[in-house]
Structure formats: structure tokens, C-alpha cells
Amino acid sequence: MLSFLAGLVTALIIAVVAAAIFFFRCRRKTQIQQGEDVQQLGRLTGELAHEIKNPLSTVKVSLKLIREDLNDIMRENVQCDKQLRRSLKKIDVIGAEVNRVEQILEGFMRYVGKIELQLCDVDINELVGDMTDFFAPTCRDNNITLRQLLADTPMIVRADPDLLKQVILNIFLNAQHAMPNSGELMVKTQFRDKKAAVVISDTGCGIEPDRLPRIFEPYYSSRPGGRGLGLPTAKKIIEAHSGKISVDTEPGKGSSFTIELPLKADN
């Protein structure tokens, strides 16, 4: 039973990886050809990922039941204790891998999925202020000095506030990872022509020139445990708002990410 489940999980992982590779390959190729094909592929791979989630849930429930059975047997028969403990350990390993596949799938589905914007009037100063308040305790715990310099007047944009918060949080978290011991995180908002700009700067490790072109690529990550979807998702969200995201960096000194969003016409 255990080897069957392990086989099933492996097959699911292979299917997910193959779907992701297929999607991104085809996307690259068709960028020059037809945009419609890309959209269809995005939808298909999204559906495939969704389909894979169902058998994964069955695997999870089955693992839980097997675990309970083994625990019952162990209670009744102390002799086979050692063997059973080994089996339970294997079940935990499979369980952890199933959870990992589930998280990969969720990240993938969020990235390829169509963004539905819930637009409203958003004051960027207020939103950024809320996010710095939210992140302040994390900064304190990590010896990071947090500074904020907001424009004097409200900066109104038409935007989806929850998605913008997600973008800012992704950039904050990256800054935190870039400053593992201590550092400074500076958040500014500025009016630039007909745009609202948010500039988030850190005094972290910076980005080497050979890595720089890759940081907005899906699944590119330079850190252990990184998923490589934070910046691509941020870019996708900002572009869905007709905005732009860019980076300025100096290895060893730090990085500065700038988001620009069109101001509401009568701002």
C-alpha cells in the first residue's frame, strides 16, 4: 500500500512538473506567434493542476486512515513495534511530500490563473501605511530598521487593494530575506507625472548582474526553500493594473523596487 501511494505521489509530482514545463515552453514559443494559444494553454494547465488536486486529497485522507490503523495495531501488538514505527515514518515522509505538491499546485494555479480585479478607489499612502504597520513587528524581530516617507497628499488610484497588499508583502519579505542579520527597509511614495510610485529599498545583499535578468521568471529562486513565484506574481498583478514594476540594485549594497501605477484621472 505504501509503495503504491509513493508511486502515486511521484506520478502526480511528475505530472505537475511536466505540465509546468509544457506551459512555460509553449508560452515562450507562442509569445511570438499567437496570444490566444497562450491563454488557452494557461487555462488548460490551470485545469490540469486543479484536476490533480482531487486525487491528492484522496491520498491525504488514505494516509491519515493508514496512520490510524497502524497506531491501533501498535497499541495491540507491542512486538511489531519497531517495524511499525518505520512504516509510520514513511507515511510522514509521504504526507510531507503530498503537502509540498499541494502548495506547488496552489502557487502555480495562482500564477497561471486569470486575475479578476476588484477595483475601487485606493489611497496608496494609506495602503502603504497599513502594510508598514503590519510588517513592523517582523522588522523589529529581525533587527531591521523600518522607515517610511509618504507623499503629503492622498494618491488615489483605481486598484484591487488586496492584490496590491500581496505585491508589497512579497517585496517586503524578499527584503527581509536579503537582510538576514540586520539592515534598513525604506518605503516611499511619490507623485511622478500622472503616476503614483511606491519605492521599497533595502540595504541587503543586492542582486548580481547574472541573476538580475532572471528574478521575474517563474520558479527562479536563489534561496533555499524559495518558490520563485513572488516577483512573477507581483509583476503579473501590477501589469494587470496597467502599471510597471522595476528594480535597481547594487550587489553588496542593496536593492530598490519601484512600482508605478496610473493615478485616477481626477486625482
Ligand X SMILES: Nc1ncnc2c1ncn2[C@@H]1O[C@H](COP(=O)(O)OP(=O)(O)O)[C@@H](O)[C@H]1O
CB atoms within 10 A of CB 193: 8
Distance of CA 200 to the CA centre of its chain: 18
Q: Looking at 10-18, 109-117, 198-206, 258-266, which segment touches ligand X (CB under 6 A)?
A: 198-206
**What mask, x for binding Mg ion by CB under 5 A, covers residues 221 to 250?**
---------x--------------------
Q: In which element (H, E) is residue 243 found?
A: none
Q: Does 176 bind Mg ion (CB under 5 A)?
A: no
88 vs 220: CA distance, rounded Å: 34
Tell me the Ramachandran region of residue 32: left when phi exceeds 0, alpha when psi lies from -120 to 50, beta otherwise: alpha
Of 63 and 202, CB closest to ligand X: 202
Minimum Å gap between C-beta 255 and ligand X is 4
| Residues 123-182 interacting with ligand X (rule: CB under 6 A) | 170, 174-175, 178
> In whole angstroms, how close is the CB of 210 to Mg ion at the nearest point?
19
In the complex, the smallest distance separating the C-beta of residue 264 from Mg ion, rounded to whole angstroms, is: 29
Using CB under 6 A, which of the segments 29-37, 55-63, 181-189, 226-234 binds ligand X? 226-234
Nearer to ligand X, 62 or 166 (CB): 166
Report how far residue 50's alpha carbon sits from residue 43's, in angstroms, rounded to the nearest whole number. Answer: 10
Near Mg ion by CB under 5 A: residue from 174, 201, 203, 255: 174
As given in the structure block, the three cell numbers for residue 222 are: 536563489
* Cell numbers linked to 50: 486543479
262 SS3 class: strand
Integer angstrom CA distances of residue 27 from 19, 23, 89, 222: 12, 6, 40, 23
Task: Indicate the DSSP class of residue 213.
Answer: G
Q: Where does this chain bind ligand X (CB under 6 A)?
A: 170, 174-175, 178, 202, 204-205, 207, 211, 215, 220-223, 226-232, 255
